Structure 1
Amino acid sequence: MEDKPIHNIESKSACKATDNICLPDTHWPRVVIVGGGFAGLALVEKLKHKEVQVVLFDKNNFHQFQPLLYQVATSALEPDSIVFPFRKQFNGYKNVVFRLAEVEEIQPSSNVVKTNKGNIHYDYLVLATGTTTNFFGMNTVEENSLGMKDIRDSLNIRHMMLQNLEQAAITCDDEERDALTNFVIVGGGPAGVEMAGALAEFCKYILPKDYPEYSSSIMNIYLIEAGKELLSTMSNKASSKTLRYLEDLNVKVLLNESVTNYDGNKVSTKSGKTFLAKNLIWTAGVKGQFPEGIDAKHVVRGNRLKTDPFLMVEGYENIFAIGDIAAVITENTPKGHPQVAQTAIQQGKYLGKVLLKLMKNEGVKPFEYKDKGALATVGKRKAVADLGKFKFGGYFTWLLWSIVHLMSISGFRNRLMVGFNWAVSYFTYEKSNRLIIRNFSKASNSKSIANSQTAVKNASVND
């Protein structure tokens, strides 16, 4: 495919009449990035020390390593082990500016982004806002269950789990005890599988020591998947191995099944099954989230932004999308690229090159995704891998998974903390972070959901 010439946008000074967020003076072009996930950080790294002003907006002041959220949720890691402050990350990047703010609206006609702290002008805008949990319109499920998309969700899950186990030791009502000690995970993708495996090991190794009041057999773990197999994006071999590993851990796997209702105490499924559970974790789907201002006709299935092969949002000349929010629709990728970390990182690095060439009015080649394979772990010492033609699983796969994830964490201190915790846990199966720091209630969680939906207005389409 021939290189694509891209319209060059005249460089503008940093100070505009529309700006009311303080930024360093510069005459370099300004690139505004919304979202500091894997895609946003990869783009920042590519643009550091270049003749461009990079402004990163995020509602948090830290990057979070999402693949290990489930370990925080199950008391294996403390939250500060998998988060890293943006300002520490950008220390020494003289052309990079971080601002803690939430972008609420884009005004493409005037090249302005409006945040909850003020407005600024951009020369190039990059949306890397990622996704949020998709409950597919089931309001009662959303109100009474927990997703697992950020560090706060993980802490909520941890506190809910520990509080319910403590209450189970108090109650004399057998039915209530069953509900308190039953755990339901909805969604058989990597997040659901890894969460189920971690909970099963908590049940097997921690419950008997911490709660001698009752047998560990009282804790039932259900994994519900609407499809016919687990890890549907991986090979059949990986799927079958994962199913066997989970069944060995006494996880009750329900395939071709879906949740239709959950009132906080009883789960109902499509086939008519019902069972008691006060712990439901939803990992069954995601949808894109982004500020208002993008024309709805450029939004596709999954609430993602349709882009061309150069990651430019359809219908705009200086707005780009990367990571989970981007849907690069081509003949070879009719549904876009997979919403995984390696896609986000590759797109961030690629767009950095594109923007630098764009400023020089040079042509660029379209984005090409390179699939480096997939890994998923099922508890300790067991994992599955699809690496090209090689499909395998077991202990050495788990070691590979551990090395890959450990090296991907931001910050030497964080790697050291995670590595140390893993080493201790490997030999003792101990989870030392079983602390209830704050009380969690589903009522407060529902209020938080409502506030979040009011504060963040996302463009949406029917899935």
Structure 2
Amino acid sequence: MGKQKIVIIGSSYASAAAYHNLEQSLSRTREPAELLWITDKSYYFINELLTQILCDSVSINDVTCGLRSVGIIKPGVSYLQADVKDIDLVKKIVKTNQGIFDYSYLVLAPQKDSINENEESYKRNSFCLNSPIDALQIRTHVQKTLEKAALENDQNKKSSLLTFCVVGADVRGLEIACALSDYVIHLLKHYYPELYKSQVKIYLIEARQNLFPDKDPFFKTHIFCNLNKKRIQLLLNSKITDFSKGKVLINQEREIESGTVILSASNDYCALMKSLNLRKDDHGNASVNIYLQADGFDDVFVIGDCSKCMDLNETASPNIISTITQAQLCASNILSKINNNPLNPLRTNFHINTMFLGANSSIVDIKGFYLTGILGWLIHRFIYVLSFCGIYKKLKSFVSYLINICALRENSYLDFFEKEKERQILKR
């Protein structure tokens, strides 16, 4: 039998974790197999940390990692930056702009990169948070908006500039609103003493009537207390009926003039996955069995945000822990298939849910036991430090983690004239 060829496609964290686990497993077992990672980017990022960029709790380096640093490039293990044009699942070939590659086993772990057509108009008039670049664009926009507000004499225009709307009160929306509030207040305190905190309005708009119906009262109470503490106005049962630049119409009756609108919704689907002849659910995610194999294709494994196990009742949202578990199981099952061994099923025995609630604050749910505030944030961040692929990146992230704890980050504000600033801020 010739060498087995394993091809991984995607630039997501899931693809990096699969590549890392397969590279280590092949080196450890010395299996006669070739591993190729095809990706359209030179880096991957952890999606769940993007909101922390907004409030300076993490830096860009804490969120991203170069793909070539994930594993060791050596004979039989390679990396290719290319655009995938087509995949023939029957003939087992992948067509890219760099050539055509055949495979014995295929791992699909791409990122969702497209939105529905009916949301295109919303995206043109608002911001989305789908990449580190989006986070930097939002930060830059907020700074420019505050600069305009500081120079604006018309009170109505100033009020509009200092009004921020976050559409969607899901986990991502709550994280964005909390991070945005902390960032704006930080800028006002240190750089814009002529603007008052009382002038800032942050709306969190949600079409549903209830938030997190499956969560216990403690979780809900803690969330609502944080929103009140950060002066974030939660508007439930509020459907966006019209959307234009600078204006949001709710339920066809209430109009909010806002200089900044951020959509919490991430990309809806992956264009590559949509083009493939795979069974999918209503959200465009590939249906997989408990072994992470695509329906009808035993040699195709799908992991990450673009997969959905139809044999398990998955109610929790995907997180970093579930992604790591999928990547490890995918690598193990591919090696089992090469050696004609029985496959291992996916087990959802991880019951850890996390949510960022602004700068240096999180809530961590471990099987119904909650850790909140700075302690929750420390544990939350440490989970992500351990999640990076490769010991070198883990060490760098850990050093950054310690720097953050000691408040020595380079972009932290060190004011040696704090008393003078306090005199200016007392006017508020």
TM-score by length of 1: 0.79
Give me the whole-angstrom Cα distance separating, in 1, the residues matched to 2:251 and 2:117: 14
Q: Which residue type is aligned with residue 294 of structure 1?
A: L
Offset, 1:414? 3.5
CA distance in 2, matches of 1:58, 1:232: 38
Cα 1:401–1:229 shift into 2, 3 Å: farther
Gaps in structure 1 of 5+ consecutive residues = 1-10, 13-27, 433-463
Say if 1:260 and 1:284 are closer, same or farther in 2 by CA, change over 3 A.
farther
DSSP-derived class of the 2:297 partner:
coil
Q: Check conservation: 2:353, 2:365, Cα contact below 8 A.
A: yes
RMSD of aligned Cα (Å)? 2.7
User: How many residue pairs end up in the alignment?
Assistant: 403
Quote the residue 2:425 is aligned against: none
Structure 2 contact 329–344 (Cα < 8 Å) conserved: no
- 1:383-402 correspondence to structure 2 within 5 Å: 383-402=362-381
* CA distance in 1 between partners of 2:269 and 2:320 (Å): 15
Counterpart in 2 of 1:226? 207
Deviates more, 1:219-228 or 1:69-78: 69-78
What corresponds to 1:295 in structure 2? 277
Q: Give matches, 1:406-425, under 5 Å.
A: 406-409=385-388, 411=393, 412-424=395-407
Superposed structure 1 runs of 4+ greater than 6 Å apart: none
Question: CA–CA distance in 2 between the matches of 1:420 and 1:176?
Answer: 40
| C-alpha distance in structure 1 between counterparts of 2:345 and 2:117, whole Å | 33
- Is the counterpart of residue 403 in structure 1 residue 378 in structure 2? no
1:37-90 per-residue CA deviation (whole Å, 9 max, x = no partner) reads 232222222211513222112221112122221122344443233211111222
Per the alignment, do residues 166 and 237 of structure 1 end up closer, same or farther by CA in structure 2, a change over 3 Å counting? Answer: same
2:234 is the counterpart of 1:259: no
TM-score (norm 2): 0.85
- Shift in CA distance, 83/165, structure 1 to aligned 2, threshold 3 Å: same
Measure, in 1, the Cα distance between the counterparts of 2:413 and 2:117. Answer: 37
Q: 1:173 to 1:379 in 2, by over 3 A?
A: same
- Are 1:37 and 2:9 matched, yes or no? no
Q: Distance in 2 between matches of 1:82 and 1:381?
A: 16
Shift of 1:390: 1.9
Alpha-carbon distance in 2 for matches of 1:339, 1:271: 34
> SS of 1:365's equivalent?
coil
Q: Deviations over 1:287-328 (max 9, x none)?
A: 2314164226x1211110111221111122322211111111
| Residue 170, structure 1, aligned to residue 145, structure 2 | no
What does residue range 44-443 of structure 1 map to in structure 2 within 5 Å? Answer: 44-49=19-24, 50=26, 51=31, 52-91=33-72, 94-132=75-113, 134=115, 137-231=118-212, 234-270=215-251, 272-284=253-265, 286-291=267-272, 293-295=275-277, 298-330=279-311, 332-333=312-313, 338-380=317-359, 382-409=361-388, 411=393, 412-424=395-407, 430=413
Q: Give the conservation status (yes or no) of the 8 Å contact 1:138–1:261.
A: no
**What do residues 91-111 of structure 1 show as CA deviations (whole Å, max 9, x unaligned)?**
356543111122232111221
**Conservation of the 8 A alpha-carbon contact between 2:242 and 2:252:** no
Conservation of the 8 A alpha-carbon contact between 1:328 and 1:337: no
Q: Judging changes above 3 Å, is the alpha-carbon distance between structure 1 residues 416 and 308 closer, same or farther for their aligned structure 2 residues?
A: same
Give the 3 Å change call, closer, same or farther, for CA 93–254 of structure 1 in structure 2: farther
**Percent of aligned positions that are identical:** 21
| CA deviation map 1:171-217 (0-9, x unaligned) | 33333322222211122233222221122222333313211232122
**1:329–1:336 Cα contact (<8 Å) kept:** no
Structure 2: gaps of 5 or more residues: 416-428
On the 8 A contact 1:324/1:340 being kept in 2, the answer is no
SS in 1 for 2:11: coil
Contact 1:125–1:320 (Cα < 8 Å) also in 2: yes
Q: Which has the higher contact order (CA 8 A, sep 6+)?
A: 1
1:242 Cα deviation from its structure 2 partner: 0.8
C-alpha spacing 1:222/1:93, structure 2 compared with 1 (3 Å): farther
